[in-house]
Amino acid sequence: MPLYKSITVNSQTTVKIWKIEESYNALMQPLELKPESLERVLSMKSQLHQRGFLSVRHLLHEFGYTDQDLFYDQNGKPHLKDGKHISITHSFTFSGVIVSDKDVGIDIEMQRDKIGIIAKKFVDYEFDYLDKTSSDYIKKLTIIWGVKESLYKLFATPGMLFKQHFLVIPFMIEDGETIAWIDYKDKKYRYTTAFLEFEGFTCAYVVP
């Protein structure tokens, strides 16, 4: 399947999501990968990861870029050669890319009950407003994780901890957005973040 969803966040920012239904060969065939990308994809043990990696290159094409336009810094953060900002995510059968004139981050997660088991590892303040007995508890946890992950990708700073340095303000799922704060090394940063759900997945991203 080609492009699953395209979201115009604002005049400088676009999100594109791909539903990964093609085989590895079908995804690989039309692509021209640079040697290090080819080496990376061939070294992946899981075909699910390979297809995720390749679908991201198809999303780049949707933006008018190729694999040659993408590079990574020492912290693993992706960049585009033309100076625009980019963030990348893939989870099981979906991948996503956000491109903007300003710093961005994006994350896609499958909604799974097991996030409730690890919640104490990434949730602190948010427990004050979360209701564990609510039918949307798992969905809200997934949104909180996605928001924090997208902010972590934006900063790409080793040492940042989801539980300690990231804070997500109370929200309703139908709002589709919330405010998040980063409190790190005596500095505070405020961000608007957005989220959406589709086919048992959650996508969260930073609105520049």
- Provide the token pair at 168: 């997500």
Count of the separate structural domains present in the chain: 2
Q: Which residue, 14, 10, 23, is CA-closest to 59?
A: 14
Q: Are residues 32 and 79 in the same domain?
A: yes
Q: Are residues 16 and 82 in the same domain?
A: yes
Q: Are residues 56 and 121 in the same domain?
A: no
When the pLDDT of each residue in the chain is averaged and rounded to a whole number, the result is 96
Q: Are residues 100 and 137 in the same domain?
A: no
| Containing structural domain, residue 150 | 107-207
Q: For residue 96, is pLDDT > 60?
A: yes
- Provide the token pair at 127: 């427990």
Q: Could you tell me the pLDDT band of residue 120, with boundaries at 50, 70 and 90?
A: very high
Mean pLDDT of all residues in 73-89: 96
Long-range residue pairs from 112-120, CB within 8 A, at least 24 positions apart, any chain? 112/138, 112/142, 113/138, 115/141, 115/142, 115/145, 116/141
Q: Are residues 193 and 122 in the same domain?
A: yes
pTM: 0.95
Structure confidence at residue 158 (pLDDT): 87
Alpha-carbon span 53 to 28, nearest angstrom:
10
Q: Are residues 93 and 112 in the same domain?
A: no
Alpha-carbon span 208 to 193, nearest angstrom:
9
Q: For residue 1, is pLDDT > 90?
A: no
Mean pLDDT of all residues in 48-75: 96
Structure confidence at residue 2 (pLDDT): 79
Q: Are residues 40 and 97 in the same domain?
A: yes
